[in-house]
Chains A and B, each alone.
Chain A
Amino acid sequence: QLDFWLAPRGPGHPVDVRVPFPSLQPLKAHLEANGVSYSIMIEDVQALVDHERMEMLRGRRQLPLSTNTFDYATYHSLDEIYAFMDLLVAENPNLVSKIEIGRSTENRPLYVLKFSKGGTNRPAVWIDTGIHSREWVTQASGVWFAKKIVLDHENDRDLASLLDRMDIFLEIVTNPDGFVFTQTQNRMWRKTRSRHSGSACIGVDPNRNWDAGFGGPGASGNPCSETYHGPYANSEPEVKAIVDFVKNHGNIKAFVSIHSYSQLLLYPYGYTSTPVPDQQELHQISKEAVTALSSLYGTNYKYGSIITTIYQASGGTIDWTYNQGIKYSFTFELRDTGRYGFLLPAKQIVPTAQETWLALKVIMLHALDHLH
């Protein structure tokens, strides 16, 4: 059980040995009984090892050196995610670029990653995560999706053919002010961090602030409420930035906004019970997407329109995008179904992202197949 770090060479040469604790006394007794002198170089090896590990982890958190050493199975700070984006772009300049689409209330940049193999204003897919800041598995999944696209863009036939004709836009931290707040002050913060005159309460629900049934039933007019729709549609810069982007781009074919939790795949409408004209098609796509998702780990999802599956909600993102003519508008509610809720253990990040990616591919490929 003795671990020689400097092996015996012969008389007159020193020997270094690591001694497991139970052997310490017997070894000392043996050496003394035979007149062999010794000195202790390291009192506690384990303590040193532990310390080094801690230093390494700390070092890693401060400077991820590449997206290959980045830890996808843990939650990261805003700075770490923004640094990740820059690394990804630097490593893949021919595929990935970063666009600033606006600034948040607290003046943080709103970044979108663009994945493109060329062309000009190609038809595109939009994916956003983290619009509700407390839904941490979504931002974490967004980071994973970004890396996944880079890893698979050549060897995955489906993804390669998708990128031959379409671009992908990915906004990972759609609500950075809220995200920072969840890390520093209140883990359960959902809304933006805007102040509007006439109230001491802060924040607007960014998923009630869109111009689709704005202010109707399914949102609150009370600034202190978690579903406060805001003083008017697009009052929130985080929302306005996306609205402007979508309108200026003019060629987005699929729009997916990602939330947690509940394990649902939803399509419009939320603000009215009138079914969308494309209800049948969207329902069929949802069915396929959910089947693909479950195939990986058996995770159970339900699907349907927002209003029939979850509850009435007005001023929602995908109601607006659908009404803009983006037929393939979907919302995900990722894991779990309430046991951990927003506090999903980090070890579920990667499995969640992996299974969700399969569903996303179904949606994106359907859009690809139905380009006019």
Chain B
Amino acid sequence: IPDSGHKYYLQFTTEDYKSGENAGSCLATVLYPKTMSPPVVNIKCVPTKDQKQIQEEDDKLYRKIRHQTKPITGNNIPDSYGNIEPALEPVWALAVAGSSYIMWEKSTESLGYFMAQVKSVKQWIRKDAFLEFDYTVLLHEIPTQEIISCHMRLTWLPGHPLKVKYFCASENHGLEDGSGMESGSASGILHERGANF
């Protein structure tokens, strides 16, 4: 759109991350302003499951995690061979949801992401009913092919929006031999504004 930016019209279907089943379809418009400010998004989705089903599944996920007697910790999920321990699947699922917020914020008209791996997860037990996790997730960045390490703090209770705070390392490379190639600029800012998501 001359003097304004680029506008994209999208029609797409979604699938359940766990089962691969069709989860609904969406219509969206995305306007990337010429000024490089964040894109303007309009989106409307029609899910295949109704609100009640979604709530039941959320409750089920929540109970699975609460059911564990010790605080959950884990590393390398999936492992190098693509395996995910059944006991850690719910925690991986939450990481996917939380990372999607990070990826949504970080992506641009020319930069996209996938969640490559949960490098580590540690559960913080709270006095209230909320679940809280500390994650290190690896994001695969396209087209640069870089692997970006992000620290993510996630809290959740069914019926409430997922809350995400994160900090991604600005540059992963140059740390090989211990001689810093780090740009060292504004890397100290924790994105407090996180998500109600």
A residues near B (Cβ < 8 Å) are: 74-75, 136, 182-183, 187-188, 190, 200-202, 205, 220, 224-227, 310-313, 338-346, 348
Contact = CB atoms under 8 A, between A and B. Distances in A.
A311 B146 contact: no
Nearest to A348: B82
B128 interface: no
Contact of A343 (B79, B143, B174, B181): B79
A200 B147 contact: no
What DSSP secondary structure best describes chain B's contact surface?
A: loop
Which 3 A-B residue pairs are closest in the complex by CB-CB distance? A345-B82, A224-B173, A226-B145
A227 B81 CA distance: 25
Given A187-B80, A202-B176, A205-B145, 17 more contacts: A75-B81, A182-B80, A201-B173, A224-B173, A224-B174, A224-B181, A225-B173, A226-B146, A226-B147, A226-B173, A311-B143, A341-B116, A342-B116, A343-B79, A343-B80, A345-B81, A346-B82
A311 B144 CA distance: 10
A311 B141 CA distance: 13
Given A200-B177, A200-B179, A224-B181, A344 B144 contact: no
Contacts of A340: 78, 82
A343 B144 contact: no
Contacts of A201: 173-174, 176, 181
Contacts of A225: 144, 146, 173
Contacts of B144: 220, 225-227
Contacts of B138: 188
A117 B138 CA distance: 47
Given A226-B144, A313-B143, A344-B82, A338 B173 contact: no
B140 A341 contact: yes
Contact of B176 (A74, A200, A342, A343): A200
Nearest to B142: A311
B40 to A, nearest CB: 24
B17 interface: yes
Given A340-B82, A346-B82, A188 B181 contact: no
Q: Which of A74, A201, A202, A346 has the most CB of B within 10 A?
A: A201
Q: Which of B116, B145, B146, B177 has the most CB of A within 10 A?
A: B145
22 contacts: A187-B117, A188-B138, A188-B147, A200-B179, A200-B181, A201-B174, A220-B144, A224-B171, A224-B173, A224-B181, A226-B147, A227-B143, A227-B145, A311-B143, A313-B143, A339-B17, A340-B82, A342-B140, A344-B82, A345-B81, A345-B83, A346-B81
Nearest to B174: A224
Interface in B137-155: 138, 140, 142-147
A310 B80 contact: no
B8 interface: no
B197 interface: no
B130 interface: no
Contacts of A345: 78, 81-83
A343 B81 contact: yes
A338 B78 CA distance: 13
A313 B140 CA distance: 17
Contacts of B83: 345-346
A281 B36 CA distance: 40
A344 B174 CA distance: 28
Contacts of A338: 114-115, 140
Contacts of B76: 187
A47 to B, nearest CB: 22
A310 B143 contact: yes
A310 B143 CA distance: 8
Contacts of A75: 80-81
Nearest to A347: B82
Nearest to A208: B145
Contacts of A187: 76, 80, 117
